[in-house]
Amino acid sequence: MIDKRIAAIDGAIADIFDGAIVMVGGFGPAGQPAELLDALIRRRPRNLTLISNNAGNGDYGLAALLKAGCVKKVICSFPRQTDSWVFDDLYRRGEVELELVPQGNLAARIQAGGAGLGGIFTPTGFGTALAAGKETRHIDGKDYVFETPLKADFALIKALKADRWGNLIYDKTGRNFGPIMATAANCTIAQVSEIVPLGELDPEAVVTPGIFVQRIVPVAIARQTQTA
């Protein structure tokens, strides 16, 4: 019987190892798997490479993971905001590396990783410092730069509902990077607001098929576990 439910959130992330590449869904706080990140901070792995849309807000979520000293490199498109003081401080002190990627390229590179492609040619970034040292081509009258795919050991994402097979639906814009990250990771861990019986999810509404998800954790149980 296929059952991907994990009752204890700390158990769901227990095998995230030092040096792992970890994708984290979310567009700022929207769709960010906050409880999974809290559990990862308790685990305290070191030298992680973090792939995300941004480098954290305030002192919670991604920023808290950085502050805990877990991350050696950030690959993202939007590292600095008015409340990104944790990343700013670590970067200026040379304690975290940054690979800056235009947002469309970030999504396309993750999609390429999930599709098993060897890379993509994109016009975004051509002729700028972001293309330094990369292969370029002139195709059909336009200049392109070659970008490699992004893949991960783990993806931490947030969804609205799941069934025990791991099929996922999302809450409006909370969907953002979750679906493509799920395809590009060896192990996808999803925190969900509700787990419903098999057959209750409309197949036409499923965004991430369960084949791309290895573990699901209901948020209600996760919160009980943290306060137990």
Q: Please compute Rg for the chain using Cα positions.
A: 18
Confidence band, pLDDT 50/70/90 cuts, at residue 228: very low
**For residue range 81-131, what is the model confidence (pLDDT) as tens digits?**
888 899 999 999 999 999 999 999 999 999 999 999 999 999 999 999 999
- What's the whole-number mean pLDDT along residues 203-213? 97
Q: Is 103 helix (H, G, I), strand (E, B) or coil?
A: helix
Question: Is pLDDT at 170 greater than 50 in this prediction?
Answer: yes
Q: Is 80 exceeded by the pLDDT of residue 221?
A: no
Give the contacts of 220 (CB within 8 A, at least 6 positions apart).
193
pLDDT at 224: 44
Q: How many residues would you count in the chain?
A: 228
CA distances 122 to 86, 132, 163, Å, are 32, 14, 37
218, β-bridge pairs? 192
Question: Does residue 225 have a pLDDT over 90?
Answer: no
pTM: 0.93
* Mean pLDDT calculated for residue range 135-143: 97
Calculate the average pLDDT of the chain.
Answer: 94
